[in-house]
Amino acid sequence: MMSFDKELNQTARALLNKIESKTAIIGVVGLGYVGLPLAVEKAKAGYKVIGFDIQQKRVDMVNDGVNYIGDVVNEELSEITSKKLLEATVDYSRIAEVDAVAICVPTPLDTYKQPDTSYVESSGKEIAKYLHEGMLIVLESTTYPGTTEEVLKPILEATKLTCGEDFFLAYSPERVDPGNKHFNTKNTPKVVGGITETCTAIAGELYKQVLEGDVHLVTSPAVAEMEKILENTFRHLNIALANEMAILCDRMGIDVWEVVDAAATKPYGFMAFYPGPGLGGHCIPIDPFYLTWKAREYNYHTKLIEIAGEINNSMPDFVIDRSMKILNKEKKALNGSKVVVLGLSYKKDIDDVRESPSLIIIEELEKAGAEWIPVDPFVKEFKFRGEAVKTHDLTLELIQSADLVLITTDHTPFDYEMIAKHADVIFDTRNALRDYKDLAAKYYRL
């Protein structure tokens, strides 16, 4: 129990006892890339977990022990559902059964790049309907500093229960890196900031019972919200720098990949970031703009973040422009050329196409009149202009028939040796063929 145990009221003490004895029932709202792995870890730790989602298909799959998230181990999901440690439902009235609930819902940007907190608000309103004394609520969705206190807390306190006394509210940002072979939900350190010290203590104790990574307590939800934005803005800015270097190196006839690898030999003061066809996923392309939006409230303009966004958003156009120039060298136009696009997900070895630059590139290929053939071993079908499009298998015949092989995601299962040997022209935006480039007849990279 926390060091200031004597300061806890009876309600807080009872909840902490449930958490430590693992008799607490845990709820997770949103069973996507963040919510399902979290629900699985809490169930593996010995808690009874109820997952809530608005999609009946997801709920049915969880209850049948069928996995749909890459970072969840199939056998583990099957085992905990068969033991009834985890069940899923679309019935939000069952929130009344839980002692603690994590909110893991999307926080997208609208068309004006302003935060859309509607999913958080609707989740808060559903929880408020069944809020009871001795309940912990933790928001995990990435958002702007102030969301927990300014948006979620008033919704919950409208029930006339008092935060920090009757119920407990905290923010703990998700740290999910799909496809990461070393760090996952269980072993990644967790940051927790509550409305009050008691809120922080209770939320921190729950995560300590579930996770292997360190639990770092901060003084407020705003600190935790801001540090999450800092994490992703750090990557956003450094990727933009790498992309701008790639554009300049292209004009100067310098190999940017060799430049970054050389710089990475320095054992201090440098961290290697590599260029690519653009940013994807739910976090890096979106999260920094939460801060840009919030900063306007304080009459501050986040110039560096916005410039980085312009650079990263321009990369799909740069890829199309380079593709045109590469085909021109072959006395071919992009219009009418057959382009095999290798990789649709935003990063290697996952099936997530959210905000993927590959989809933007395909859109531009379509506008340019090219015949594009999508290939991705992890994405069997995707939406393009509202229609479902099936991907193709990677075959020798397909590679040989292409005017241009465009590598947009460096998936491990791709046969790069075969691609290098048999493709007529290759444009590699990920340096995927670095070990086979000498086998290629005509090889270009970003």
- 127-160 pLDDT, tens per residue? 999 999 999 999 999 999 999 999 999 999 999 9
pLDDT given at position 6: 52
Residues 6+ apart with CB under 8 A from 367: none
pLDDT value for 174: 94
pLDDT at position 71 is 84
Cα(253)–Cα(347) distance, integer angstroms: 27
**What token pair was written down for 282?**
């739910």
Quote the pLDDT of residue 167.
Answer: 98
**Catalytic one among 104, 163, 199, 283?**
283
Strands 443-445 and 381-384: unpaired
pTM of the model as a whole: 0.91
Strand order in the sheet with 215-218: 86-89, 48-52, 25-29, 100-103, 135-139, 167-171, 190-194, 215-218
Residue 285 pLDDT = 84
pLDDT of residue 112: 79
Q: Which amino acid type is present at position 143?
A: T
Say if CB 371 and CB 338 are below 8 A apart: yes
Catalytic residue check, 283: yes
Amino acid 1: pLDDT: 41
What is the rounded distance in angstroms from the CA atom of residue 199 to the CA atom of residue 220? Answer: 10
Q: Are 424 and 396 in contact (CB under 8 A)?
A: no
* Helix residue spans in 285-356 (DSSP H): 288-296, 303-329
User: Contact 15/87 with Cβ under 8 angstroms?
Assistant: no
- Stretches where the chain sits below pLDDT 70 are 1-6
